[in-house]
Amino acid sequence: MYTGLLHTHNFLRLIILIAFVVTLYRSYAGWFGRKNWIKGDNLRGIILTSLMDLQLLIGFALYFVYSPVTQIAFQDFGLAMKNADLRFYAVEHSLLMIVAVALVHVGRAKSKKAGSDLKRFKRSAIFYTLAVLVILAAIPWSRAWM
């Protein structure tokens, strides 16, 4: 089960990055090109948010149930904090990814409630960009393509 979830988590990361590229492209094009917010822009936000939520759920399953790395960390959390690899997975990766999911949700909500198309694009571009930056900081690059 662990291996299957880990592979799903890794594969979904690529799908999410593609969704970010498409959504960010449209957000910046709409913001700087002063385009109209259309149904597809809303749909892209929904898809991105849903993919992030799914990724978070899979991450929680790995974190709390299946990952041997976090299970080792949970045995002695104080000792795990002294080990950079264990600390990364037990605290840094999970915390930063939760922040990224929150940023995507805030960006979606703020763009949905914005009064004008320009504000919708601007808010989605800013919050989704921040989320991508947090995600890039939280990716375990040493194991990123496993």
* Alpha helix (H) residue ranges in 34-92: 39-61, 68-75, 77-80, 84-87
For 67-83, write each residue's pLDDT tens digit: 999 999 999 989 989 98
Q: Is the pLDDT of residue 110 over 80?
A: yes
Would the pLDDT of 133 be above 50?
yes
Q: Please list, in sequence order, all residues whose beta carbon lies within 8 angstroms of the beta carbon of residue 34, skipping any fewer than 6 positions away.
A: 117, 118
pLDDT value at 30 more than 90: yes
Average pLDDT for 117-137? 97
Structural domain of residue 98, as residue ranges?
2-143
Give how many domains the chain has, as a whole number.
1
**Chain Cα centroid distance, residue 3:** 21
pLDDT at 129 over 80: yes
What per-residue confidence (pLDDT) applies to 144?
54
The fraction of the chain above a pLDDT of 70, given in percent, is: 97
> How does pLDDT run across 5-18, given as a tens digit for each residue?
999 999 999 999 99
